Amino acid sequence: MPPRISDSTIRRLSHYLRALETMVREGAETVSSEDLAERGGTSAAQVRKDLSHFGSFGKRGLGYQAVELEASLRRILGLDARWRVALVGAGRIGSALFEYPNFQARGYDCVAVLDTDSDKVGRRWGDVIIRSADELEHVVAEEHIDLVILAVPPEAAQDLADRAVAAGARGLMNFASVQLRVPREVPVTDVNLVMELEALSFAITQAGTGA
C-alpha cells in the first residue's frame, strides 16, 4: 500500500504485460528487467522500480518467472475480474470499439449500447440491441455497469457523464474532446484523437526547427 501510484507507472505495467504475453508465447521461462525494458521502451531500473511498488516478484541473480509475473501484472491491473461495460454512442468510434477483438478478450464485456439517434435505437449489434440514451440511468443500474464509454459529441458528454456517475458507474472512458468534471473518486481516462494529432504536428514542427 504505497502512497500513490503514478499514471505513467501503470501505463508501463500495461506495456510489460503485453511484452510478457509475447515472450511467454515465444517460450521464455524467465525474463530479466533488461528484457522487459527493451520491449517496453524504458530502462531496466525503471522496470524494477515500477514492480517494486507492488511487491517482490523476481529472484536476485535470476530474473522473473515469466508466467508468474504475467499473472501478477494481470491481478494488479484488475484484469482478473470481468468488467461490465456500457457503450454510449453507436457511431464510427463506438462501432470500432465494439468490434475491437482485444476488448472482450481482456475482460471487458460490452453488455449495453446506447445512442440518441432514434434510427439506431432498436438495431442489433451482435448480442445487444441498441437502446435509447434516455435509458442510461436505468441501464447502468439494472445491468450493474462498472464502466461507461462515452463515444459521443463533446456537447453531450458532460451530461451523460453526470448521469452515468449518478447511476453508479465506477469509471469512465471519454472520447469527447472536453474535460469532464466528475467526482474525484470516479476515474476518467481520456482518449482524445485531436489532441494526439496536435501533439504530433507540434513535435514534427519542432523536430524541423530544433534539429
Partner DNA sequence: TCCTGTGAAACGGTTCACAGCC
Partner DNA sequence: GGCTGTGAACCGTTTCACAGGA
Residue with cell 461490465: 84
Residue 30 DSSP SS3: strand
* Cβ–Cβ under 8 Å, residues 127 and 112: no
- Under the binding rule (CB under 8 A), the answer on residue 141 touching its own copies is no
Pick out residues in 142-161 that bind its own copies (CB under 8 A): 146-147
Residue with smaller CB distance to its own copies, 135 or 202: 202
Among 88, 89, 108, 152, binds its own copies (CB under 8 A): 108
Distance in Å, CB of 178 to DNA, minimum: 19
Span interacting with its own copies, options 77-85, 111-119, 121-129, 136-144, rule CB under 8 A:
77-85
- Under the binding rule (CB under 8 A), the answer on residue 204 touching its own copies is yes
Q: In what order do the strands lie in the sheet with 171-174?
A: 131-132, 108-115, 83-88, 147-150, 171-174, 188-190
Distance in Å, CB of 89 to DNA, minimum: 30
- Under the binding rule (CB under 8 A), the answer on residue 166 touching its own copies is no
Among 1, 26, 27, 60, binds DNA (CB under 7 A): 60
Distances in Å between the Cα of 166 and the Cα atoms of 111, 141, 149, 150, 169 are 19, 10, 15, 15, 7
